Amino acid sequence: MDTCIEKIRTICADLLAKGKVQKVIGFAEGSIPMASRPIAVTSKEDVAKLVFNATCGLNLANYVSDVLPKEGKIAVTAKGCDSRNLVTHMVENQVSRDQLYIIGVPCTGMVDKRKIAALFEDEITDFIEDGDTLTIVSPQKKEKVSKKDVLRHNCRVCTHRNPVVFDVMAAEPVEEQSLDQPFADVDHIAAMDPAARWAHFQELTKNCIRCYACRNACPLCYCPTCFVDESSPQWVGKGQDKTDINTFHFLRAFHCAGRCTDCGACVEACPMGINVRDFTRKLNKDALELFGWEAGLDMEKRPPLDVYSPDDPNDFIK
């Protein structure tokens, strides 16, 4: 992916120089190994700050509606999943197509930082990416790994690596993956008995500190007042009682039903390493099976729980 960054920078410098966009939202180099940070670039001198690599795991669609100018456009670099969330934003009227200049970036996946950290007993001091080869250094050892082996789970099961909407592409499209068992993780949980499933989710969220990083990193979560912050009525308690934690995770996930693109930003952001995708993946699977729906692919259609169709499955109503 490092070849596309020169093209991204050239495109952005040109857009800014010609005044076609007021700012560019992209990623910049982080201050510690294996980190990157979202950045807004407004001058062509600053485009050199832009990077794109396997640590850019957040979803930039999350930043778009906060910085929309009254007039004119902003540019945003978008991986496959970011572009699907931009579509979702457009369908849900958070942003309109003509406010955006989308720089599509074909993506071969983001790395699972926890998986890499787990390969080391001490802390990682350097991380170099060269195509599929990652060189990772700690005081004790230097390790070369293949990026394919340390991809995040959502990237391993991604079937939309190429942006679905764009004004310009920063590189040639990459080959899409085809999967035999796209929802093996969901099936694995579904195969357990109810008590084991309950135990699985209890164990999953037991370290949750309710920082709401999962919610805030999610481009779908743009409600002015989230249900957890509402005080009249107060839907959910604010403490560390497991009932409240369960309620938060269950409802947060359900609010993403039929809208989630499985971009993985929630898991990427979680400081406690909780795979909150265990909730949303089930919904994604059901959306596909019940409604033939994958979010963020069609600019003309509202998500399935937003619309009524006589063909909707309704055997749950008794």
Partner 1 sequence: MNFITIDKKDWTTGIDKSRETYQVFGPVQDENGCQIKPLAPDVHPLMDAGVTVMSPKSVLFPQTQKMLTATLDASIEDHHVMKPVKKDDTPRVVLGIRPYDARAILLVKLNFDNPDYQDPYWCEAYAATTFVGLGVNHPGPCDFSTSTGCGPFSEEGLDVLMADLDDRYLAKILTEKGETWAGACGFDTRADAAESQSLFDILRKEAEKNITSVDTDQLSEKSILDLYEAPFWDDVAFSCINCGTCTFVCPTCWCFDIQDETKHKTAVRFRNWDTCMSPLFTHHASGHNPRGSKVQRVRQRFMHKLKYFVDKYDQGIMCVGCGRCVASCPVNIDIREVCTIMNNYESK
Partner 2 sequence: MENPYVPYPVRIDDIEVATEDKSLKTFTFVFQNPADEEKFAYKAGQFAELSIPGVGEIPIGIASSPVEKGFVKFTVFRTGMVTTHLHNMKKGDIMGIRGPLGNWYPWEKLENKNVVIIGGGFAFTTLRSSIVYMLDPANRSRFKNIDVVYGARSPGMLLYREELFDWEKRDDINMHITVDGTDDPEWQYHTGFVPQVVEKNAPPADEDTYAIVCGPPIMIKFTQPALTKLGYQEHQIIMSLENRMKCGIGMCGRCNIGKELVCKDGPVFTLEQINQTPKEY
Partner 3 sequence: MMGNLLEHMGVERDRLHFSWISSAEATKFVDVVKEISDKVRALDTDKKFAKDYTK
| Residue type at 63 in one-letter notation | Y
- If phi > 0 it is left, if psi is from -120 to 50 it is alpha, else beta; for residue 94 that is alpha
Q: Do residues 94 and 219 make contact, with C-beta atoms less than 8 angstroms apart? A: no
Q: Identify the residue among 33, 106, 163, 304 touching partner 1 (CB under 8 A).
A: 33
Q: At what angle do helices 194-204 and 277-291 cross, to 10 degrees?
A: 130
Should residue 234 be labelled a site residue for partner 2 when binding is judged by CB under 8 A?
yes
Q: Identify the residue among 258, 264, 296, 303 touching partner 3 (CB under 8 A).
A: 258
Residues 40-59: x where in contact with partner 1 by CB under 8 A, - otherwise, as a string: x-----------------x-
By CB atoms closer than 10 A (0-12, 13-18, 19+), residue 251 is middle
| Residues 221-240, interacting with partner 1 (CB under 8 A) | 229, 237-240
| Residue 151 binding: pick among partner 3, partner 1, partner 2, none (C-beta 5-8 Å cut-off by kind) | none
| Residue 227 binding: pick among partner 2, partner 3, partner 1, none (C-beta 5-8 Å cut-off by kind) | none
User: Partners of 169 in the beta sheet?
Assistant: 104
> Which residue stretch of 99-107, 179-187, 213-221, 283-291 sits at the interface with partner 1 (rule: CB under 8 A)?
213-221
Give min distance, CB of 285 to partner 1, in A.
24
Q: Residue 249 has which token pair?
A: 């995770």
- Which CB sits closer to partner 3, 48 or 190? 190
Q: Identify the residue among 178, 232, 309, 314 touching partner 2 (CB under 8 A).
A: 232
Q: Do residues 105 and 159 make contact, with C-beta atoms less than 8 angstroms apart? A: no
Q: Residue 91 has which token pair?
A: 């369908």
| Residue 235 binding: pick among partner 3, partner 2, partner 1, none (C-beta 5-8 Å cut-off by kind) | none
Q: Which residues contact 67 (CB under 8 A, 6 or more apart)?
A: 23, 25, 40, 74
Should residue 39 be labelled a site residue for partner 1 when binding is judged by CB under 8 A?
yes
Should residue 275 be labelled a site residue for partner 3 when binding is judged by CB under 8 A?
no
| Residue 197 binding: pick among partner 3, partner 2, partner 1, none (C-beta 5-8 Å cut-off by kind) | partner 3
| Residues 225-254, interacting with partner 3 (CB under 8 A) | 237, 241, 243-244, 246-247, 250, 253-254
- Which CB sits closer to partner 3, 211 or 290? 290
Q: At what angle do helices 194-204 and 242-254 cross, to 10 degrees?
A: 100
**Calpha distance 316→305 (Å, rounded):** 14
Q: Residue 5 has which token pair?
A: 């960054």
Q: Residue 232 has which token pair?
A: 């009249």
Q: Residue 115 has which token pair?
A: 């998986």
Of 3, 54, 52, 53, the closest CA to residue 24 belongs to: 52
CA 29 remoteness from chain centre? 18
Residues 254-293: x where in contact with partner 2 by CB under 8 A, - otherwise, as a string: ----------------------------------------
- Largest pairwise CA distance in the chain: 63
| Residue 247 binding: pick among partner 1, partner 3, partner 2, none (C-beta 5-8 Å cut-off by kind) | partner 3
Rule CB under 8 A: which residues touch partner 3?
186, 189-190, 194-201, 237, 241, 243-244, 246-247, 250, 253-254, 257-258, 279, 282-283, 286-287, 290, 305, 316-318
Rule CB under 8 A: which residues touch partner 1?
30-33, 35-40, 58, 62-63, 66, 122-125, 139, 207, 209-213, 215-217, 229, 237-241, 268-274
